[in-house]
Structure 1
Amino acid sequence: MSFDLMVFDKEAAPQSKADFMQWHEKQTEWTEDHDYEDPAHTTVALRNWFMDMISVFPPLNGPYATKDIDDPRTTDYSVGNKVIYAAFSFSEAYMAYHAAKSFAVKHNVGLFDPQE
């Protein structure tokens, strides 16, 4: 079981909840033509959020992948053009949420918890 969060480019996301949910659904179809493990394809703000997050929750895959895949902080990130989806170990949910929220504020990106 995982604890999932998505951060997003605030300017790209619709403002109404219904439109946002449709947009979220479309983003998580993962149909963009690039590697979803490499943050080079996302916005500067989202890339900065990612770099801060991986200092605490290292990525499972991609160019910054950790070698210690048994560490419960190891996280599966999917990096889109306007979103980053992160699947954390459920045992790390509290710390992951607070780190993600803090870095989202720091880098002025939106934070969505699909479990809510």
Structure 2
Amino acid sequence: MSYDLMVFDPVAAPHERAAFLEWYHQQAEWSEGHNYSDPANTTPALAAWYEAMRLTYPNMNGPNAVTDEEMLEPGVEDRLGDYSIGHHVIYAAFSWSEAENVYPLVRALAVKYGVGFYDVSGDEGDGEIYFPGDELKPESQGAWRSISRQFKELDNE
């Protein structure tokens, strides 16, 4: 089980929520017929977002995977991300104990690089969807935050 977020190409995604969710489910079928760990397969804006993200949350897989030497650095294992990179989306999965840290970073970098943001793990399927140009809503205070804190407490025991 992981805390999941997605960034997307705002030109490719429908703006109406029901249509967006249908589009999201189509994207998550991973049927594009390419390697989903290679950022060369996505848009320049999504690739730039990915490069910025992996500075803090290194990729555990693919051509940009964290090295054995980097894994020896304190805390790296807790901050690994699992990125699935499509033509119009990047789906990112993180440890629940990192959810409260990763959520604001993913949002901020989405705004910076002009890509959309979807809080896949948002409460009861009602996760935040952000398109560039929209007013950014206040950060979610959903139940996922208590789940994150519980995992963090377990990690500290």
- Bin the TM-score by the shorter chain: over 0.9
- CA deviation string 1:37-64 (max 9, x = no partner): 0000000000000000000000010111
State the structure with more CA Rg. 2
SS in 2 for 1:22: helix
Q: Is residue 108 of structure 2 the alignment partner of residue 102 of structure 1?
A: yes
Q: Is residue 8 of structure 2 the alignment partner of residue 8 of structure 1?
A: yes
* Counterpart for residue 146 of structure 2: none
Q: Tell me how far 1:13 sits from its aligned partner.
A: 0.3
One-letter code aligned to 1:64:
N
SS in 2 for 1:55: helix
Identify the range of structure 1 (69-78 vs 6-15) with the bigger mean alpha-carbon deviation.
69-78
Q: Tell me how far 1:34 sits from its aligned partner.
A: 0.7
* Counterpart for residue 113 of structure 1: 119
The alignment covers a number of residue pairs equal to: 116
Unaligned runs of 5+ in 2: 123-157
More helix by share: 2
* Counterpart for residue 19 of structure 1: 19
One-letter code aligned to 2:21:
M
Query: How do 1:52-71 residues align onto structure 2 when only pairs under 5 Å count?
Result: 52-67=52-67, 68=71, 71=77
TM-score (ref. length: structure 2): 0.72
Q: Tell me how far 1:86 sits from its aligned partner.
A: 0.3
Q: Which structure ranks higher in relative contact order (CA pairs < 8 Å, sequence separation ≥ 6)?
A: 1
* Counterpart for residue 43 of structure 1: 43
Q: Tell me how far 1:115 sits from its aligned partner.
A: 2.1
Q: Percent identity?
A: 48
Give the root-mean-square deviation of aligned CA atoms.
1.2
One-letter code aligned to 1:8:
F
SS in 2 for 1:77: strand
Unaligned runs of 5+ in 1: none
**CA–CA distance in structure 2, aligned partners of residues 33 and 99 of structure 1:** 30
Aligned with 1:88 (options 87, 91, 94): 94
More strand by share: 1
SS in 2 for 1:30: coil
**CA–CA distance in structure 2, aligned partners of residues 15 and 53 of structure 1:** 25
